[in-house]
Amino acid sequence: MLVASGFKVITPKTAAQKQKLQNLPTGTVTMINKGKKKYYVFPDPSHNQAYVGGPKEYQAYQQLRADKKLSREDLQDAEMYQDATMEWSVWEGGEGVWGPMGGPVPGGF
Q: What is the pTM of this model?
A: 0.62
The mean pLDDT value of the chain amounts to: 77
pLDDT digits (tens, 9 = 90+) for 59-97: 999 988 888 886 666 656 655 655 554 454 554 544 444
pLDDT digits (tens, 9 = 90+) for 16-43: 988 888 899 988 899 999 899 999 999 9
Would you say 31 and 25 are in contact if contact means Cβ atoms under 8 Å apart?
Answer: no
